[in-house]
A and B are shown apart, each in its own frame.
Chain A
Amino acid sequence: MRTISAAQITEAVARLSIRANTELPADVAAALDRCRRAEPWPLAGETLDLLQDNLNLARERDLPICQDTGMACVFVELGQEVHIDGNFEEAIHEGVRRGYGEGFLRKSIVADPLRRVNTEDNTPASITVRIVPGDRLSLTVAPKGFGSENMSRLGMLKPADGVEGVKKFVVETVRLAGPNPCPPTVLGVGIGGSFDKVAALAKHALLRPLDQPNPDPFYAALEGELLEEINALGIGPQGFGGRTTCLGLAIETASTHVAGLPVAVNVSCHVTRRATEVL
């Protein structure tokens, strides 16, 4: 048994909240660069250059890359041999509170969905915990903007819809989103499970680095086919037209019921943020 204090968790979450909002993950930056070089349409190329300028400016001026510093989605992998000294969830909320305050990040959370009063400190965090073997604690802060979140969709397809039905649903989601989610986007796709599980799969898929295809060759191929179809839609960076509509797409799957084929698409933007520390 290894003991990790609530204070250690708070400090890590605070650091990660700030880092995630000011430094784009290397794989997302590399995908932007690769797409820029492959972009044939001049206006789209210029637009991608401006997104690069924005990343440089954010770094130079110590500013958040995007003003929507998001809902703090915190993913925890908790080793089953870890003992936490103190209140685990409160430690995470406190880390978000501190990080969003000290980092001059935007407070975008309302306490109640209909009465809509801002909590003023970006809490509560949205916490997802997975118990894993070992004595380590991995924390990932993935701030999620809602311009893209709002364009996400979930469908309970029929098994007869098959792989073609899934492809149609994913591509249709991107077409319906059009310019709204700040393309070029990153897409997390969940297939299988149940109504609640499939959305969690889609969200979790956004954590996978864009240079890592699905380990199952069948799904890796499907990721490639979907990316190609989406980048043939012509929406382009910011929806102004062009090839680069999507930077990358990750599929996660789960076993499902004989009667069902759930599919979910979690839409994210060119500022797909995540930062991880292992305690």
Chain B
Amino acid sequence: MQYKLTTPVTREDLSPLKAGDTVLLSGTVYTARDAAHKRMMELLDAGDPLPFPVEGSALYYVGPTPERPGEVIGSAGPTTSGRMDAYAPRLLDLGQAMMIGKGARNGAVKEAVVRNGAVYLAALGGAGALMAASVKKLEMICWEDLGCEAVRRLEVADMPLTVILDAHGGDLYQSGPAAYLASLENKQEGETP
């Protein structure tokens, strides 16, 4: 199934999504990688507000290349999400609804996804030019000293994403390869006279 969603999203918006579905995402998406997550945790520890409204938000784990003059953004594919596992559950518990990245997540993140009715979506790893094409606007909102890791507010239109972890415990990184391997077994059985 393909879904069209616009941020901010609610638990109800995300409930129908199943691992393996595709999403065309529009609206506001914030960027953050390791260093920005670490600073967000420091803000929360100090009781200070986060640099963006977290309820129903989408965070894209990306550090784009610098934009050429006149361009909105450079190349902008996802970074490996696992490095954010230490921070993600806390943000999900605060209302963050979507994580966008690539690669496997740990058990704590999977539990936090289910607990909060959130989703983890994959952008196409290594396809920075393709992912950049859906970004219509970019604004640096804080921690410019972090360079490519600074937090940016992106306006995106129909950003192509794939559901990896759904709110019901589904995980495409398990079910996808398993389905392919099962198709090979079925084929072999079919060929046996």
Binding site for B on A (CB under 8 A): 41, 43-44, 47, 50-51, 53-55, 57-58, 61-69, 104-108, 116, 118, 120, 145, 147, 150, 178-180, 182, 233-236, 238-243, 269-271
Name the residue in B67, B122, B124 with the highest tally of chain A Cβ atoms < 10 Å from its Cβ.
B124
Chain A residue nearest in CB terms to B68? A104
Q: Which of B64, B126, B175 lies in contact with A271, CB distance below 8 A? A: B126
Q: Evaluate contact between B127 and A66: CB separation under 8 angstroms.
A: yes
Q: Evaluate contact between A50 and B130: CB separation under 8 angstroms.
A: yes
Q: Which of A67, A69, A145 lies in contact with B76, CB distance below 8 A? A: A67
Q: Evaluate contact between A66 and B181: CB separation under 8 angstroms.
A: no
Binding site for A on B (CB under 8 A): 20, 35, 62-68, 74-77, 79-80, 82, 102-104, 122, 124-130, 132-133, 146-148, 160, 162, 172-173, 175-181, 183-184
Asked whether A61 and B129 contact (CB < 8 A) given A233-B177, A241-B180, the answer is: yes
Chain B residue nearest in CB terms to A150? B80
Q: Evaluate contact between A178 and B103: CB separation under 8 angstroms.
A: yes
Q: Evaluate contact between A178 and B104: CB separation under 8 angstroms.
A: yes
Q: Evaluate contact between B67 and A57: CB separation under 8 angstroms.
A: no
Q: Evaluate contact between A104 and B66: CB separation under 8 angstroms.
A: yes
Q: Which of A104, A238, A242, A269 lies in contact with B65, CB distance below 8 A? A: A104
List chain A residues, Cβ under 8 A from B77.
66-68
List chain B residues, Cβ under 8 A from A239.
103-104, 172-173, 176-177
Q: Evaluate contact between B129 and A58: CB separation under 8 angstroms.
A: yes
List chain B residues, Cβ under 8 A from A63.
65, 74-75, 128-129, 132
List chain B residues, Cβ under 8 A from A66.
75, 77, 126-128
Asked whether A182 and B177 contact (CB < 8 A) given A63-B74, A67-B76, A106-B66, the answer is: no
List chain B residues, Cβ under 8 A from A147.
79-80, 102-103, 125-126
Complex Cα–Cα for A69 and B175 (A): 31
List chain A residues, Cβ under 8 A from B176.
43, 236, 239-242
| Minimal beta-carbon separation of B31 from chain A (angstroms) | 11
Complex Cα–Cα for A62 and B65 (A): 12
Q: Which 3 A-B pairs have the closest CB atoms?
A: A241-B176, A182-B125, A54-B127
Task: Given contacts A65-B126, A104-B65, list 11 more A-B pairs with CB under 8 A.
Answer: A55-B129, A68-B63, A104-B68, A106-B148, A107-B148, A108-B148, A178-B104, A234-B177, A239-B177, A240-B122, A241-B172
List chain B residues, Cβ under 8 A from A105.
65-66
Q: Evaluate contact between B130 and A54: CB separation under 8 angstroms.
A: yes
Complex Cα–Cα for A274 and B122 (A): 27
Complex Cα–Cα for A67 and B183 (A): 35
**9 sample A-B contacts, Cβ–Cβ < 8 Å, listed by A number:** A43-B20, A51-B127, A58-B128, A63-B65, A104-B67, A106-B74, A238-B102, A240-B176, A271-B126
Name the residue in B66, B103, B122, B162 with the highest tally of chain A Cβ atoms < 10 Å from its Cβ.
B103
List chain B residues, Cβ under 8 A from A51.
124, 126-127
Asked whether A178 and B173 contact (CB < 8 A) given A66-B128, A271-B126, the answer is: yes
| Minimal beta-carbon separation of B116 from chain A (angstroms) | 23
Chain B residue nearest in CB terms to A107? B147
Q: Evaluate contact between B128 and A67: CB separation under 8 angstroms.
A: yes
Name the residue in B80, B125, B128, B146 with the highest tally of chain A Cβ atoms < 10 Å from its Cβ.
B125
| Minimal beta-carbon separation of A41 from chain B (angstroms) | 5
Q: Which of A116, A180, A269 lies in contact with B104, CB distance below 8 A? A: A180
